[in-house]
Amino acid sequence: MQIESLYQIYLNHPSVQTDTRQLKSGDLFFALKGPNFNGNLFADKALEQGASFAVADEYSGIYADRVILVQDVLDTLQALALHHRKQFRIPFIAITGSNGKTTTKELVHAVLSTHYRTYTTRGNLNNHIGIPLTILGIRSDAEIAVIEMGANHQGEIAGYCQYALPTHGIITNAGKAHLEGFGGFDGVKKGKGELFDFMRSQGGSAFVMWDYNYLREMSVGIQEIVRYGTNDEEQVSGIVRRSEPYLEVEMKRGFEEGIISTQLVGDYNLPNVLCAIAVGKYFKVGELQIRKAVESYSPSNSRSQLIELKSNHIILDAYNANPSSMKAAIENFSRIPVTDNKKVLLLGAMAELGPESLEEHRRIADLIGEFNWHRVALVGGDFQKIDHPYTRFNNAEEARDWLKEEGIRDAYILIKGSRSMAMEKILDNIV
């Protein structure tokens, strides 16, 4: 079937689903397959549950009249997303980076939504499947779209750009994340830089954190650059006024002078806030609306949340971790003034670091030793394979039981680790 014909079916059934567990009546079902699953086997089930049509590349069931056979379901999904994308003449803002991209995406969306009908990536649907689904979720009333792009190897961002066709790009930073797939830090910069490469080739625009020299270099040649940062040379600038318990930003340039009080934990969120303000100003959102949007945004999903449980103050930042974000979190936590310095570190191992993993875990253990803590426990992965003087656990459940037995009260507790460590389970016996 030609994409144009499939697109007409999509227009009549614009809700796209790839998971029968979330299917609603009338949905257009795409039977994706991967190393450990084959959606083609669920095509009949989807149709029985009320799907309008099933797009499949293998089929031997009983509902052939409602099955659209294609060469490759994933390629078709992406091609359909591209066809839909081409119907819009609106700004498409793409956001990538090693750290902070989801928080930045949510802040940018919050700001723009006060003035425009804005569509954005739901949750963490930021990969080769999630991005097409996000695009296909954009309706005809859209005025701006904000697309998050995640990647763990080179070529991914470039591929996403081919069907998202972003007009504006943001790289929050390039840090030590997914080193295994990217082939080291230089590979991370190259991979994330594919977004700026697309902006450069298409005459697009970029929002750049001007404090980071490497982002300055990566943005050279882009037609329009909006600078934000902490210095007076930026179009939008601000500094950390305080970061405990929540980040307060003192604006210096490009925004009415004063303090913006956020619900974000950690001074490492300053670039995310400044980026959202810069985007809002660029798109002529009123300063009062920008302020209200930033100040009312509250993180969720285990991202830099401050949780008050009984007598303890818990910073839950367990959605993900890499050496860059771990270092920033530890250093920020060390600066929080706490009575009797009663601070507890519960850190889970970092994933996807390849040959550098052991050394990166040693560096984190050495960094921990530069400060005084009430208790430190390191959990799982390569933290188990290196020498360090701290309490060790195999998994979050063991750390949870230890924390309960310790009976820690009136303390600040930082919980952080890679997604695979599921460090949020530590809270089960604290609540």
pLDDT tens digits, one per residue of 267-314: 999 999 999 999 999 999 999 999 999 999 998 766 778 898 888 999
The answer to whether 101 and 172 are in contact (CB under 8 A) is yes
Over residues 159-186, mean pLDDT = 88
Give the model confidence (pLDDT) of 2-19 as tens digits: 999 999 999 999 999 999
Look at residue 195 in the predicted model and tell me its pLDDT: 98
Q: How many other C-beta atoms can be found within 10 angstroms of the C-beta atom of residue 386? A: 16
**Domain end marker among 296, 316, 341:** 296
**Residue 80 located in a structural domain:** no
Look at residue 309 in the predicted model and tell me its pLDDT: 85
The alpha-carbon radius of gyration of the chain (Å, integer) is 23
Indicate if 259 and 127 belong to the same structural domain.
yes
The CATH number of the domain holding residue 341 is: 3.90.190.20
Indicate if 65 and 92 belong to the same structural domain.
no
**Residue 389 located in a structural domain:** yes
Q: How many other C-beta atoms can be found within 10 angstroms of the C-beta atom of residue 69? A: 13
**Residue 81 located in a structural domain:** no
Indicate if 123 and 196 belong to the same structural domain.
yes
Over residues 220-237, mean pLDDT = 95
Indicate if 123 and 60 belong to the same structural domain.
no
Indicate if 214 and 335 belong to the same structural domain.
no
**Residue 76 located in a structural domain:** no
**Domain end marker among 71, 98, 127:** 71
Q: Which domain holds residue 273?
A: 88-296
**Residue 83 located in a structural domain:** no
- CA dihedral (259, 265, 268, 269) positive or negative: negative
The residue among 34 and 24 whose pLDDT is bigger is 24
**Residue 78 located in a structural domain:** no
> What is the rounded CA–CA span in Å between residue 424 and residue 422?
5
**Residue 59 located in a structural domain:** yes
> What is the rounded CA–CA span in Å between residue 305 and residue 127?
24
* Average pLDDT of the residues of the chain: 94
Indicate if 331 and 234 belong to the same structural domain.
no
| DSSP per residue, 154-179 | TTHHHHHHHHH--SEEEE----S-SH
184-188 contacts at long range (C-beta below 8 A, 24 or more positions apart) = 184/356, 187/154, 188/98
Indicate the pLDDT class of residue 430, thresholds 50, 70 and 90. Answer: low
Indicate if 185 and 290 belong to the same structural domain.
yes
The CATH number of the domain holding residue 204 is: 3.40.1190.10
Over residues 390-405, mean pLDDT = 94
Q: How many other C-beta atoms can be found within 10 angstroms of the C-beta atom of residue 173? A: 26
The CATH number of the domain holding residue 18 is: 3.40.1390.10
The answer to whether 426 and 327 are in contact (CB under 8 A) is no
Q: What percent of the chain has pLDDT over 70?
A: 99
Give the model confidence (pLDDT) of 104-125 as tens digits: 999 999 999 999 999 999 877 8
Q: Token pair for residue 149?
A: 């792009």
Indicate if 172 and 115 belong to the same structural domain.
yes
Indicate the pLDDT class of residue 429, thresholds 50, 70 and 90. Answer: low
> What is the rounded CA–CA span in Å between residue 191 and residue 69?
34
Indicate if 312 and 423 belong to the same structural domain.
yes
The pTM of this model reads 0.90
Give the model confidence (pLDDT) of 62-105 as tens digits: 889 999 999 999 999 999 999 999 999 999 999 999 999 999 99
When divided into structural domains, the chain yields a total of 3
Indicate if 257 and 132 belong to the same structural domain.
yes
Look at residue 201 in the predicted model and tell me its pLDDT: 97
What is the distance of C-alpha 203 from the center of its chain?
26
Indicate if 120 and 170 belong to the same structural domain.
yes
**Residue 79 located in a structural domain:** no
Indicate if 290 and 326 belong to the same structural domain.
no
